[in-house]
Homo-oligomer: A and B are copies of this chain.
Amino acid sequence: MTPDGVTFAVWSRERQQRIEDVLARVLPGDNAPAARLAAAMRYSTLGGGKRVRPLLVYAASELTDADPARADARGAAVELMHAYSLIHDDLPCMDDDALRRGKPTCHVAFGVATALLAGDALQSLAFAVLAAAGGDDGCRLLADAAGYAGMAGGQQLDLDATGAALDADSLAQLHTMKTGALIRAAVQLGARCGRALALDETRALDRYATAAGLAFQIVDDVLDVEGSDASLGKTAGKDAAQGKATFVTLLGLAPAKARVQALRAEARAALAGFGRSADRLAELADWIVLRTS
């Protein structure tokens, strides 16, 4: 609970509903000229997902005393970018996955070609939404996080690693790009919504986001081993089935869990200078670590 007396459970549910409404508003509707594309975009974005990245945007924005309305477009932009990456990641030429968020994946529901375009158009929409909110260099930050040195580059490293022996450092590098870059962008975009931060504050938030992002990925690896399809809403055990290196295969299950706890402590320590204003971000780090799906 934070100084405003609202529990994390209430806060996160309220913000998840809020971002759902924002996403529903910015996504194209049935009357879009390419209606099938619009339907695929909505199918893969609405009504599912933990909304971790928008929650990070909101929590970081609150740390700067910003009105939540200032964070809406930024939260939507990172979630649209995330939704696009999931669609492309699930495609037959990538992970070839049939289940996502408890539903058939986009290409199973709409065909591969439309799924490809839905991902493409969601990336464009992320920038459209962010640019329409205006007033800062958010587009550059998001573009760098999504591009060759961030998310897309991490996906390539993931491809390169298939069948190759990878050590834990290389795997951490891969995930720092593949999932970490967008999580860091979420925190930075949120932190730009309110009062200007000092450089050391921005850096502290980046340390928080880096640790939380890596913890998030290792938890994913642990859940892939310990979870079920039903609890995860996606295919469990697929890392092992594909012979992919994960933190669990490289470190072992117990050490992987210990690493998660160390990263959780690191994330919380990075917030020390902010006092109570960072409570929500601290709670988010806990939530990332303790989640079961």
Q: Is A166 an interface residue (CB 8 A)?
A: no
Q: Give Cα A121–Cα B148 distance, bound, in whole angstroms.
A: 5
Are A147 and B160 neighbours in the complex by a CB distance under 8 Å?
no
Q: Is A38 an interface residue (CB 8 A)?
A: yes
Are A32 and B153 neighbours in the complex by a CB distance under 8 Å?
yes
Q: Is A117 an interface residue (CB 8 A)?
A: yes
- Out of B125, B146, B147, name the residue touching A147 (CB < 8 Å): B125
Q: Give Cα A34–Cα B28 distance, bound, in whole angstroms.
A: 33
Q: Is A113 an interface residue (CB 8 A)?
A: yes
**A121 and chain B: residue at smallest CB distance:** B152
- Out of B131, B149, B155, name the residue touching A117 (CB < 8 Å): B155
Q: Give the number of copies in the complex.
A: 2
18 extra A-B contacts, CB within 8 A, seeds A113-B159, A120-B146, A139-B139:
A32-B153, A33-B149, A33-B157, A33-B177, A34-B156, A37-B148, A88-B120, A94-B113, A114-B159, A117-B159, A120-B120, A121-B152, A124-B144, A127-B142, A128-B144, A131-B137, A132-B140, A134-B137
Interface residues in chain A, defined as those with a beta carbon under 8 Å from any beta carbon in chain B: 28, 32-34, 36-38, 41, 84, 88, 91, 93-94, 112-114, 116-117, 119-121, 123-128, 130-132, 134, 137, 139-140, 142-144, 146-150, 152-157, 159-160, 173, 177
Are B149 and A32 neighbours in the complex by a CB distance under 8 Å?
yes
Q: Which residues of B contact A38 (CB under 8 A)?
A: 148
Q: Which residues of B contact A33 (CB under 8 A)?
A: 149, 153, 157, 173, 177
A253 smallest CB distance to B (angstroms) = 28
Q: Which residues of B contact A119 (CB under 8 A)?
A: 120
**A85 and chain B: residue at smallest CB distance:** B120
Q: Give Cα A116–Cα B143 distance, bound, in whole angstroms.
A: 17
Are B123 and A34 neighbours in the complex by a CB distance under 8 Å?
no
Q: Which residues of B contact A127 (CB under 8 A)?
A: 127, 139-140, 142-143
Are A149 and B114 neighbours in the complex by a CB distance under 8 Å?
no
Are B113 and A128 neighbours in the complex by a CB distance under 8 Å?
no
**A107 and chain B: residue at smallest CB distance:** B93
Q: Which residues of B contact A157 (CB under 8 A)?
A: 33-34
With A125-B147, A140-B131, A147-B125: A120-B173 Cβ-Cβ less than 8 Å:
no
A18 smallest CB distance to B (angstroms) = 23
With A137-B131, A146-B124, A148-B28: A156-B116 Cβ-Cβ less than 8 Å:
no
Are B140 and A28 neighbours in the complex by a CB distance under 8 Å?
no
Are B93 and A113 neighbours in the complex by a CB distance under 8 Å?
yes
A160 smallest CB distance to B (angstroms) = 6
Q: Which residues of B contact A177 (CB under 8 A)?
A: 33-34
- Out of B116, B131, B134, B143, name the residue touching A125 (CB < 8 Å): B143
